[in-house]
Amino acid sequence: MKLRIEQLQHHRNGVGGAPFDVLIFRDPGAGRMLGIVFPEPGHVAVFHLEKLALGNIAFGVNSWRGDHYEPDLRKAIQRRDEEAQS
């Protein structure tokens, strides 16, 4: 899958929640997407941004296979973390 990452931010989720990363990216086959990636493997949510802007969060309408996007999204997070350490 060839994704183009537009934005990537880390959120600590307050003082007690699980931290997560948020990515805005383009999927050539689907459009502009929002990914939410938690540290634990298999915990990835993906939404289509235009549908979110319309308030559409319905399952089956604005639900995407997080497991399909997970490897590429985690690689982008890893690259960001490695660049921050150098």
Local confidence pLDDT in tens for the 86 residues of the chain: 799 999 999 999 888 889 999 999 999 999 999 999 999 999 999 999 999 999 999 999 999 999 999 999 999 999 999 999 98
User: What's the pTM value of the predicted model, to 2 decimals?
Assistant: 0.92
Contact 32, 24 (CB under 8 A): yes
| pLDDT of res. 14 | 80
State the SS3 of 45-69: EEEEHHHHHCCCCCCCCCCCCHHHH
| pLDDT of res. 15 | 83
| pLDDT of res. 16 | 85
| pLDDT of res. 1 | 73
Q: What is the rounded CA–CA span in Å between residue 71 and residue 15?
A: 28
Q: 31 is written with which tokens?
A: 């459009």
